[in-house]
Structure 1
Amino acid sequence: MRFMILVKADKNSEAGTLPDEKLMTEMGKYNEELMKAGVLLAGEGLHPSSKGARVKFSGTQRTVVDGPFAETKELIAGFWIFQVKSKEEAIEWVKRCPNPMPGESEIEIRQIFEAEDFGPEFTPELRDAEERLRAQLESKK
């Protein structure tokens, strides 16, 4: 099972404040532990929403809204993608994470859909197209 681990933003991450050396060292050790355990598939920090944009959809119309975005508690400061056996295992790994923000912070855990989750609507033709796309992405690494 794959899970996306979402590090929630706070006023400091939204202000563009970078982590200090101590936190970067702790996170480096944590990421190394995840990698050695075969859990870590990807992980990155994100720039503040002031450098981002959103595209809103309404039927065929698209509207671009530039950041920053007001609701800091709904924003993401970074992420990992874990490969684990269960949600409980993902939770246990996240509980071992250094606190990513000064003071209080929150990390959200969300399971990633796999092909088999989509049922019969995910036809053999769609599966083949998806597999070709994934193979192309993999070959670019």
Structure 2
Amino acid sequence: MPRFLTLIRINEQELTTDTEFPPEFLQKMGAYMEEITKAGVMLDTAGLLRTPEGTRVNWSGGKISYTDGPFTETKEVVGGYSLIQCKDKAEALEWTKRFLEIHPAEWNVGAEVREIEEM
């Protein structure tokens, strides 16, 4: 069965360090995580620390460079990920859609779903 990496994209400037998640959001997310895990779809998932804790590593012109966060020139960043195993891309997209719909309507959250190339 194919595996898919889902990259959750957020606008980090919209979130503050004291952002509280609504109780109904946490309840719905907990139920979703339980369902996707029991279905045998979820292989791994996590949120990522904010960009001030990150470092970008680039290779250009035969040299490595490092840029410590925050990455102010970037509006949208990867805020989390999931690794899921589904029968096909349509199923992966359905699980991702359900994940996004749990979030409050006023939030801006996106996802990029990419199938993992099996070697």
When the two structures are superposed, what TM-score results if normalisation uses the length of structure 2?
Answer: 0.83
Residue matched to 2:116: 112
Aligned partner letter, 1:63: S
Per the TM alignment, residue 25 of structure 1 is displaced from its structure 2 partner at its CA by 2.5
Residue deviations 1:12-60 (CA, integer Å, cap 9, x gap): 34x4455514323222211111100000000000111111000111244
User: For 1:78, which of 77, 80, 85 is the aligned residue?
Assistant: 80
TM-score (norm 1): 0.71
Query: Where do 1:1-141 residues align within 5 Å?
Result: 1-10=2-11, 11-13=13-15, 15-20=16-21, 21-69=23-71, 70-73=73-76, 75-97=77-99, 98-99=102-103, 102-115=106-119
Which has more helix, going by share of residues? 1
Number of residues paired by the alignment? 113
Structure 1 residues 42-96: Cα deviation after superposition (integer angstroms, max 9, x where no partner): 00001111110001112442111001112122x1011111100111010111121
What CA distance in whole angstroms lies between the structure 2 residues aligned with 1:103 and 1:87?
25
Kindly indicate whether the alpha-carbon contact (under 8 Å) linking 1:16 and 1:48 is maintained by their aligned counterparts in 2.
no
| SS of 2:108 mapped into structure 1 | coil
Q: Match for 1:110: what amino acid? A: R
2:10–2:108 CA contact under 8 A, matched in 1: no
Alignment partner, residue 134 of structure 1: none
Unmatched 5+ stretches in structure 2: none
Which AA in structure 1 matches 2:82?
W
Contact 2:5 2:82 in 1 (8 A): yes
Identity between Structure 1 and Structure 2 (%): 35
Question: Structure 2 CA distance, aligned partners of 1:30 and 1:63?
Answer: 40
Question: Which structure features the higher share of strand residues?
Answer: 2
Aligned to 1:106, the other structure's residue is in SS state strand
The one-letter code of the counterpart of 1:109 is V
Supply the AA of the counterpart residue of 1:5: T
Contact kept, 8 Å, 1:54 with 1:65, in 2: the verdict is: yes
